[in-house]
Amino acid sequence: MTAAETSFYDQLGGAPTIKEAVDRFYVRVLDDAELAPYFVDTDVIQLKRHQVLLLSQVLGGPTAYEGRDLATAHAGMAITGEHYAKVGSHLMGVLGEMGAPAHIAAAVEDTLKAVRPDIVATES
């Protein structure tokens, strides 16, 4: 397999790197006073497992996310556009801290934009 054919998942370092990124991401999100209330009474361990699978799939990894679709999973949470942007900023910040190449970060950002309508309930 050539470098051009290597998945983003493998380029980042595979499962250990994705798990580390998700762990760092949730430290940031849960420490954010505006975002933490969304996670009250949430099984964060399970949420992290789902996020690892989802991010792995987005990056071309060998695992498939088989959880609820994003619209169903976020229904009734009243997630605002501002809060969604903050979550995305935390994820992009973690990827930057971990040295993700720009082309991979751009692909993740494109995915965040694509799924935004499934997650955001209000723009305010």
Per-block average pLDDT, block size 10, for the chain (124 residues)?
A: 76 97 98 96 95 95 88 92 97 97 96 95 80
| Ordered alpha helix ranges (H), the chain | 8-12, 15-31, 44-58, 70-74, 81-97, 102-119
Phi-psi region of 39 (alpha: psi -120 to 50; beta: other; left: phi over 0): alpha
Binding-site members are 50, 74
Do the domain assignments include residue 124? no
Do the domain assignments include residue 63? yes
Q: Residue 80: beta bridge partners?
A: 122
Do the domain assignments include residue 23? yes
State how many domains the chain has. 1
This model's pTM is above 0.95:
no
Distance CA 32, CA 90 (A): 9
Do the domain assignments include residue 4? no
Binding-site members for heme are 50, 74
